[in-house]
Structure 1
Amino acid sequence: MTLDTLNFQTNYLSLNNEFYDMTDPTPLDDPYLISFNTHVAKLIGLESISGDDPRFVDLLNGTFIPRGVRPFSMCYAGHQFGNYAPRLGDGRAINLGSINGWHLQTKGSGETLYSRTSDGRAAVPSSIREYLMSEAMHHLGIPTTRALGVIGSQTKIVRNNIEQAAIVMRLSPSWVRFGTFEYFYYFKEYDKLQTLTDYVIAESYPHLKDDEDRYFKFFSEVVERTAKLIAKWQSIGFCHGVMNTDNMSIAGLTIDYGPFSMLDDFDYGFVCNKTDKAGRYSYGEQPNVSYWNLTMLSKALTPIIDKERMQKKLDDYGNFLYPNAYIDVMRQKLGLDLKLDEDVELITDLVGALQDAYVDYTNFFRTLSHYDSDRMPLFDIAMNPVVIHNWLELYDKRLAKETRSQSDRQKEMLKTNPKYVLKNYMLQEAIDLAQKGDFSSIETLLHIAAHPFDELPEFEHFAHETPEEHKNICLSCSS
């Protein structure tokens, strides 16, 4: 498929016009291509040479409109840092429609009906960060939106500094959020709430479409998908930074990459968002916040689903759905094939040990993947090796109960524990070069993002511990 033969569907526009607003993009001045993602192009059947076509930049910039495109922005509400905001919506994103089940959206395309006092723009740094990180998360095996390309421009916008505006084209199987349901609940438009639920079931849970109990089963699956998603975030050391209900995907995806971070040294209380003064969205609070967000979703669904049934499912989330999902992924990281009750204590003790060890989270597990009873490699990467030693005493006893060979365990762990994750200092270095017109580091990081578990000798330095001066970078929503 070429740019000429792209053909978009806009099924969302079959809903009542309160769900969206028809919105034309506002083009940037002198746009230029920063990067084109050939891996994502395949998802919509777009030829890789399309990145060389000047009209690809025009597509992102809104000056080339393929067949079927009817630009619109979506309406939703949400709880932001625990406080309800009745009308949010796509303040700087414009939906083009869908291809092959992927909904294409340009972020940074100018003011919409939902922009409020914002300019509807996105800066080059935040656009590059989302472009690269969404790809990295996908290759780490974490459900996420994707990104097809990113463009820069000469348009100036005011953030913490004067920045150049950019647009990133991102793709998702669904852009519906918890907050979309909240919007219609709080306005008491229960017929539209039910219509929305039917739409989401058809789009993201089609196997439930003809089920008589589809609404409750839909909610149940949202809870289960969210439990698995957050467990994967915690296991890989990902901090989202802005887990408002309007940033929670009804399809169980990672969406809206604002101020995010991968852990450097393990810190259960790490907060990556400068705005989050109280630490509501700290790394360690993400499981609790996801439960709270699901509770807000259940409230919004009470007009069509029994409240007590939903509460029981929420209780399941806290009692075993999330804990079991987390323990399962951590077992994989530890190379444990058998499922034993004692694993819960082993993993709990590990979290405590990592907190006290001052050790790079990614490097710890990658080094552990080579573990053969020689403890020195692990001692060498920890500032406090004593706590690592004490935990390894427990780990050795647990490994003795496994039936598979050490070699097989190590092979599986190396497929689970990445050597490379995109840390904020790496992204910032690529951004600094990009702002000088050098996009080579973006392509390098895009390549590394696609091979997180591989040995890449030429990029070995990206697997080192984060330099001390760059640890625990905290970002704002406009970073």
Structure 2
Amino acid sequence: MKLNDLKVDMDYFHMDGNLYQKLEATPLKNPKLVSYNKQACDLIGLDYSECETNEFLEFINGSKVLKNSKPFSMVYAGHQFGYFVPQLGDGRAINLGCVNKWHLQTKGSGATKYSRRGDGRAVLRSSIREYIMSEAMHSLGIPTTRALAIIDSDTFAHREWEKESCSIVLRMSPSWIRIGTFEFFANTSNAKENLTKLADYVIEESYSHLKDEEKKYEKMFYSLVDKTALMLAKWQVYGFMHGVMNTDNFSMAGVTIDYGPFAFMDYFDKNCICNHTDSEGRYSYNNQPYVARWNLMVLAHSLKEICDENKLLEYMQTFLPQHENIYLQDMNKRLGLDASKSGNSNLDLIVELLGALESSKMDYNVFFYGLTNLDSFEDLSSVINLAVFRTPLEDWFESYKKVCEKEKSSFENRKEIMKKANPKYIIKNYMLQDAIELAHSGDYTLVNDLLDIAQNPFDEHKKFDKYSKPTPMKFANIKLSCSS
């Protein structure tokens, strides 16, 4: 389909006009296409050839508006690091409408009335990181927003005492409604009416099977609890850290949104913090499931005008058990084991492994890829030699052998399971930094190469074999800023 033929639905304007701002983007100077994503094109039915036209560049930059599109930004509130902020909003994002049930949004398109003295811009490094990481997450089966394209420019902004080129990434989501959106609506003068409209809107776009159900708002909440339990389990299984799990960064569709100071774990550390602003470790790796539960409880309170809050809180008791069950099932797969053969899903073995990985200073995901390629217990050196300290892993392998024997699990069977769960490549921050540094010099080739790796992480990509090795120690578990 041609760009101009895309059918854009504008479905938010039945809300109170004080809850959004219609506006035009502020285009960047001399925009340059960095990359476009064919998989995302397929989701909205866009011909690939359209992405190589000046018209497409103008569309991303905001100087071209599609037929029927009326760009706007949304208001919301949120708890940021546990403290309530009554008004936030799309400070640098503009919504372009919905195409084939995907809501299009450009990030970095200029200031809105929700910018809170910000410049409304996104710099190239943060845009590259979100563009590639959202695709990497999808390829691992982690619910996430997607990204269609990214542009660079000759417009510059100051970040952390440096001048950096500004960029725009066009991202796509089944919904841009957040827990923080409900927090804002719950604090309006006609809260019940606004909450009802918002809940109906969320059900229409994300839970349409509930439209004609009794107690549909409670069931919307229950469904989000289930989806969030799954998402958080997937995060933990692959060592992903979001970095800023504020309620305004938490999706009502149960997908990962708003990539900022994120990271996939390098050397395993259960208390790892990837955001240098998070001095108390509120959003550390180990805390993420508990923060998600806290965020959902905030939502339950925000829905009290249209739901039985006690019923919502009662259902919340299922969150951690659901999360743990999914986590254990997937961790068993990463070990090549059949959880159904073990009464406790090999909980003790998994807990022992995490302790061994931490004590041995072992690259988390590289360990699982090494385990996948292990052919014999006679020579464990191919895995153990990747650790800084060998003994903790040697001890763990003794426990692993016993479980394998108990389950009568062969190397062939385990490999078959693990090859679907343990990719060769996990996108790490040092890899993204390599692409960012080249992009700053005008070379976007590694951005596109990493996109290919992110979308096909189980493939060999022999030219980039170095990225399948443990993260160099000097780059391991570094903390990033919210502007990165």
Quickly name the TM-score band, shorter chain normalised.
over 0.9
Instruction: Name 2:393's counterpart in structure 1.
Output: 388
Residue 52 of structure 1 deviates from its aligned partner by 1.1
Residue 163 of structure 1 deviates from its aligned partner by 1.1
Q: Distance in 2 between matches of 1:200 and 1:338?
A: 35
> How do 1:110-259 residues align onto structure 2 when only pairs under 5 Å count?
110-160=110-160, 161-187=162-188, 189-259=191-261
Contact 2:336 2:413 in 1 (8 A): no
Contact 1:135 1:446 in 2 (8 A): yes
Contact 1:77 1:87 in 2 (8 A): yes
Contact 1:75 1:180 in 2 (8 A): yes
Q: Distance in 2 between matches of 1:454 and 1:412?
A: 16
TM-score by length of 1: 0.98
Contact 2:240 2:265 in 1 (8 A): yes
Output the amino acid matched with 2:95: N
Output the amino acid matched with 1:223: V
Instruction: Name 2:369's counterpart in structure 1.
Output: 366
Q: Distance in 2 between matches of 1:253 and 1:338?
A: 26
Q: Distance in 1 between matches of 2:464 and 2:388?
A: 25
> Do residues 353 (structure 1) and 356 (structure 2) align?
yes
Contact 1:106 1:170 in 2 (8 A): yes
More displaced, 107-116 or 187-196? 187-196
What CA deviation, in whole Å up to 9, does each residue of 1:323-354 have, x standing for no partner? 11211111111111242234112212222221
What CA deviation, in whole Å up to 9, does each residue of 1:61-109 have, x standing for no partner? 1111111110000111100000001110100000000111000000000
> How do 1:90-129 residues align onto structure 2 when only pairs under 5 Å count?
90-129=90-129
TM-score by length of 2: 0.97
Output the amino acid matched with 1:357: S
Match of 1:279 among 278, 281, 294: 281
Q: Distance in 1 between matches of 2:397 and 2:230?
A: 27
What CA deviation, in whole Å up to 9, does each residue of 1:388-440 have, x standing for no partner? 12211221111123355421320220110111011111101101110100001
Output the amino acid matched with 2:188: F
> Do residues 474 (structure 1) and 479 (structure 2) align?
yes
Instruction: Name 1:445's counterpart in structure 2.
Output: 450
Q: Write out the 4+ residue segments of structure 1 that deviate beyond 2 Å after TM superposition.
A: 401-406
Q: Distance in 1 between matches of 2:77 and 2:373?
A: 47
Q: Secondary structure at the match of 2:419?
A: helix
Q: Distance in 2 between matches of 1:321 and 1:428?
A: 36
Q: Distance in 2 between matches of 1:59 and 1:313?
A: 44
Output the amino acid matched with 1:327: L
Unmatched tracts of structure 1, length 5 or more: none
Q: Secondary structure at the match of 2:362?
A: coil
Q: Distance in 2 between matches of 1:399 and 1:3?
A: 54
Q: Secondary structure at the match of 2:270?
A: coil
Output the amino acid matched with 2:422: N
Output the amino acid matched with 1:433: L
Output the amino acid matched with 1:226: T
Q: Distance in 2 between matches of 1:53 and 1:163?
A: 26
Residue 196 of structure 1 deviates from its aligned partner by 0.6
Q: Secondary structure at the match of 1:258?
A: coil
Q: CA RMSD in A?
A: 1.2
Instruction: Name 1:78's counterpart in structure 2.
Output: 78
Q: Distance in 2 between matches of 1:370 and 1:312?
A: 45
What CA deviation, in whole Å up to 9, does each residue of 1:355-382 have, x standing for no partner? 2110000110111112332322221111
> How do 1:414-425 residues align onto structure 2 when only pairs under 5 Å count?
414-425=419-430
Residue 42 of structure 1 deviates from its aligned partner by 0.9
Q: Secondary structure at the match of 1:438?
A: coil
More displaced, 4-13 or 177-186? 4-13
Instruction: Name 2:8's counterpart in structure 1.
Output: 8
Match of 2:347 among 316, 338, 344: 344
More displaced, 402-411 or 87-96? 402-411
Q: Distance in 2 between matches of 1:338 and 1:361?
A: 21
Q: Secondary structure at the match of 2:88?
A: coil
Report percent identity of matched pairs. Answer: 48
Output the amino acid matched with 1:142: I
Unmatched tracts of structure 2, length 5 or more: none
Contact 1:98 1:104 in 2 (8 A): yes
Across the two proteins, how many residue pairs are aligned to each other?
A: 478
